[in-house]
């Protein structure tokens, strides 16, 4: 490499570092503020306008949230939906991707067309709602899991990934008398673990963050996942965190801003915790395959 | 070899069934737009009414408000949001300090993984007039508080800024991948010929990511009207509905909440058809410009 030392070039480099640095800071500061606001005390909130690092850390708002049933129950619902939903997603997607990865499969092109068409046209919200209702799934957890069981884009990417595996593997397994389910379970899936892990995470984040399907299909507040509850508490300032059961008599409710921030941070701890793992994989996952193929 | 493949068809069955039931039956269900849906008579028993709902929709003044709002927000997204991931990816590509680059990337990808509820929640907490930091900073500098959340003037700005904040970093990934594929010897050759950095950008880097840009632009044009229900719905309130209501939120409030199933199915069908036409047109355009297109 020839290095450039011209003044203009160095100025350009400096500009890029500052611009990217600023953009990164602007992106992350709201989150830091959120965490700081959730840990701050009432006095500090009154004094200062802009809190990034609270002087005195107070866990009161978290203690309060943990002492109520509302947030924990909806977190439980979300965990249940996320775990079962992701399992259904991956099972359905790989099961369909495997046969489609066989170029010799009769009718394969037609099925692919059928799948692709769903990516550009859909019946829309109301016909889907009526279908779910008539299937008797309204207000059951299956309504937020089954109608989204396969994501067409993910299916195509996983299918492309399966196609890239060497044909010889399957042939030699067949020679040994292996059936397709055996080949899928014992050869193809183990070899595709990085891809499957990536898409499991994508599907899981999708379930954790889902808002539209729950508000469409789940009307019983006891069945609300945490996103719907968060909207009530943070955006509508309704419903409240509510029903504290075991706080002492001298307990003072933390300020509203602090409480709201704490609810958001708490409800998203799982995502914050898997983020480093996610980050390692997603770039690869996104680029595993293109829409074509 | 079809006999050998019966397992393959058996494995295909659940997925196929899924697509037929949950994707194709609702497509068939759009026929509700031409009926007067009565819950007790069901889909088959409800009477046909022809284009009644479409006539009502197209003559309703709210149609033009929805059309205008959807179009303007989509246009803002295209003009202000679309170029940003490209610019940020180009800048990241120029950064040679790996630690700095990785740290910046870690930060800018983060918001993508949070829900619109979280993004809206943070927006509310930051912009509220009751202790939100943005208004406190404005007051600190002697300004007047602005009620961002209930303001018609700020709605589109907030929506576009949210989209930029949430998805710009994520959007850079695909461009960075395209940039990583550029042969470094091209730059060296260009430098030998005396090209400065701007000229290298113009003649090597941009042509290298041209087809990625075009494909993503087509995808975006094709999804022009699909603004995402969640983001808009969460930011809507009584004060900003006139500038913020879009087709999707209108369908939800009038269809699901008020039970106007047939009428909102007609609205949804119109929205889907416009989307389909946009995808077909933009794909044709791409092919005309010598790109491969999406399908």
Question: What pLDDT digit, counting tens, does each position of A144-162 carry?
Answer: 999 999 999 999 999 999 9
Chain B residues with beta carbon closer than 8 angstroms to that of A231: 117, 120-121, 234
Facing B88 at nearest CB: one of A23, A51, A120: A23
For residue B56, the distance in angstroms to the closest alpha carbon of chain A comes to 18
Determine the Cα–Cα distance for residues A137 and A147; give it in Å rounded to an integer. Answer: 10
Give mean pLDDT, residues A210-226.
Answer: 95
* Beta-ladder partners of B48: B35
Of B17, B85, B269, give the one whose Cα is nearest residue A122: B269
Once rounded to an integer, what is the mean pLDDT over residues A132-143? 96
Query: What are the tens digits of pLDDT across the range A220-277?
Result: 999 999 999 999 999 888 756 665 555 666 677 788 888 999 999 999 999 888 888 7
Q: Is the pTM of this model over 0.80?
A: yes
> What is d(CA A118, CA B26) in angstroms, rounded to the nearest whole number?
11
Sign (positive or negative) of CA dihedral A199, A32, B122, B72: negative
Instruction: Quote the Cα angle for B9-B14-B19, to 5°.
Output: 110
The per-residue b/e assignment along A88-104, b for 16 or more CB within 10 angstroms, e otherwise, is bbbebbbbbbbbbbbee
Task: Determine whether the interchain pair A126/B126 forms a contact, defined as Cβ–Cβ distance below 8 Å.
Answer: no
Give the model's pLDDT for residue B59. Answer: 93
Per-residue pLDDT tens for B160-189?
A: 999 999 999 999 988 998 898 888 888 888
Q: In which band, very low, low, confident or very high, does the pLDDT at B83 lie, cut at 50, 70 and 90?
A: very high
Q: How far apart are CA A55 and CA A7, in angstroms?
A: 43
Q: B110 with B169: CB under 8 angstroms? A: yes
Task: Give A246→chain B minimum CA distance, Å.
Answer: 27
Q: What is the pLDDT of residue A4?
A: 55
Going from the C-alpha of A281 to that of each of A162, A165, A199, B172, the distances in angstroms are: 18, 19, 10, 16
Cross-chain residue pair B5–A104, CB shorter than 8 Å: yes
Model confidence at B292, in pLDDT bands (50, 70, 90)? low
pLDDT on residue B263: 95
Q: A124 vs B269: CB contact, 8 Å cut-off?
A: yes
Q: How many CB pairs under 8 A join A and B?
A: 267
Q: What pLDDT, on a 0 to 100 scale, did the predictor assign at position A1? A: 47
Among B93, B114, B220, most A C-beta atoms within 10 A, so best to mutate, is: B114
CA distance A64 to chain B (A): 19
Q: Does B261 touch chain A (CB under 8 A)?
A: yes
Q: Do B137 and A1 touch (CB under 8 A)?
A: no
Chain A hits for B18, CB-CB cut-off 8 Å, are 92, 96, 149-150
- Which two tokens mark B158? 């907030």
pLDDT digits (tens, 9 = 90+) for A15-46: 999 999 999 999 999 999 999 989 988 777 77
> How far is Cα B189 from Cα B187, in angstroms, rounded to an integer?
5
Phi, psi (deg, nearest 5) at residue B35? -125, 170
User: Among A178-182, A283-287, B114-118, which stretch is predicted with the lowest mean pLDDT?
Assistant: A283-287
Measured CA to CA, the distance from residue A216 to residue A210 in angstroms comes to: 11
Q: Which of the residues A127, A275, A291 would you substitute to probe the B interface, choosing the one with the greatest number of B C-beta atoms within 10 Å? A: A127
DSSP state of B48: B
Nearest Cα of chain B lies from the Cα of A176 at a distance, in angstroms, of 14
Residue A27 has its nearest CB partner, among B110, B133, B252, at B110
Helix (H) or strand (E) segment spanning residue B268? helix B261-288
Q: Is the pLDDT of residue B289 over 90?
A: no
Residues 140-159 of B with CB under 8 A from A: 140
In angstroms, what separates the C-alpha of A227 from chain B's closest C-alpha?
Answer: 6
Give the pLDDT score at B15: 97
Contact B252, A125 (CB under 8 A): yes
**B79 at interface of A, judged by CB pairs closer than 8 A:** no
Q: Show residues of chain B in contact with A111, CB under 8 Å.
A: 12, 16
The answer, yes or no, to whether residue A285 has pLDDT greater than 60, is: no
Predicted pLDDT of residue A291:
37
Contacts of A50 in chain B (CB under 8 A): 133, 136-137
Average pLDDT over residues A207-232: 95
Nearest chain A Cα distance for residue B61, angstroms: 22
- The ipTM, to two decimals, is 0.90
């Amino acid at each position: 490499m020839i290095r450039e030392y011209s003044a203009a070039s160095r100025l350009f480099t400096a500009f890029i570092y500052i611009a990217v640095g600023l953009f990164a800071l602007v992106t992350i500061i709201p989150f830091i503020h959120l965490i700081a606001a959730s840990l701050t005390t009432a006095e500090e909130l009154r004094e200062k306008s802009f809190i990034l690092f609270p002087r005195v850390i107070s866990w009161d708002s978290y203690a309060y949230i943990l002492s109520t049933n509302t947030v924990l129950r909806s977190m439980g619902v979300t965990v249940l939906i996320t775990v079962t939903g992701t399992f259904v997603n991956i099972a359905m997607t790989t099961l369909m991707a495997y046969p489609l990865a066989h170029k010799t499969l009769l009718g394969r092109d037609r099925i692919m067309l059928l799948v692709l068409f769903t990516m550009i046209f859909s019946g829309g919200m109301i016909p889907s709602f009526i279908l779910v209702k008539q299937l008797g799934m309204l207000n059951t957890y299956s309504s937020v899991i089954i109608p989204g069981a396969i994501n067409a884009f993910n299916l195509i990417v996983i299918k492309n990934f399966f196609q890239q595996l060497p044909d010889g593997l399957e042939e030699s397994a067949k020679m040994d008398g292996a059936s397709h389910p055996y080949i899928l379970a014992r050869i193809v899936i183990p070899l595709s673990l990085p891809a499957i892990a990536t898409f499991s995470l994508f599907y899981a984040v999708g379930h954790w963050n889902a808002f539209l399907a729950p508000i469409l299909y789940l009307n019983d507040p006891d069945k609300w996942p945490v996103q719907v509850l968060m909207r009530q508490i943070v955006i509508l300032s309704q419903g409240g965190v509510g029903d504290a059961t075991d706080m002492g008599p001298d307990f003072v409710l933390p300020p509203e801003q602090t409480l709201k921030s704490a609810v958001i941070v708490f409800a998203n701890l799982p995502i914050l915790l898997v983020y480093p793992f996610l980050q390692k994989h997603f770039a690869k996952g996104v680029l595993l395959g293109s829409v074509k193929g | 070899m079809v006999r050998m493949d019966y397992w393959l068809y058996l494995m295909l069955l659940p997925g196929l069934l899924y697509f037929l039931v949950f994707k194709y039956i609702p497509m068939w269900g759009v026929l509700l737009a031409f009926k007067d849906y009565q819950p007790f008579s069901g889909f088959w028993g409800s009477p046909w009414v022809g284009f009644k709902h479409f006539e009502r929709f197209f003559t309703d003044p709210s149609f033009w408000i929805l059309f205008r709002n959807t179009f303007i927000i989509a246009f803002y997204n295209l003009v202000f949001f679309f170029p940003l991931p490209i610019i940020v990816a180009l800048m990241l590509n120029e950064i040679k300090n790996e630690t700095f680059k990785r740290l910046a990337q870690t930060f800018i990808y983060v918001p993508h993984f949070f829900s619109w509820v979280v993004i809206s929640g943070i927006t509310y907490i930051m912009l509220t007039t009751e202790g939100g930091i943005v208004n406190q900073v404005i007051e600190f500098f002697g300004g007047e508080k602005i009620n961002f959340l209930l303001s018609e003037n700020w709605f589109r700005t907030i929506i576009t800024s949210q989209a930029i904040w949430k998805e710009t970093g994520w959007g850079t990934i695909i461009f960075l991948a395209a940039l990583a594929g550029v042969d470094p010897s091209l730059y060296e050759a260009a430098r030998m010929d005396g090209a400065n950095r701007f000229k290298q950008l113009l003649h090597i880097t941009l042509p290298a990511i041209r087809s990625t840009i075009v494909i993503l632009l087509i995808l975006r044009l094709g999804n022009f009207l699909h603004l995402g229900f969640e983001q808009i719905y969460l930011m809507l309130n009584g004060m900003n509905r006139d500038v913020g209501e879009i087709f999707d939120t209108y369908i939800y409030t009038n269809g699901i909440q008020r039970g106007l199933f047939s009428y909102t199915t007609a609205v949804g069908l119109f929205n889907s058809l416009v989307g389909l036409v946009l995808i077909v047109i933009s794909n044709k355009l791409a092919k005309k410009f010598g790109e491969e297109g999406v399908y």
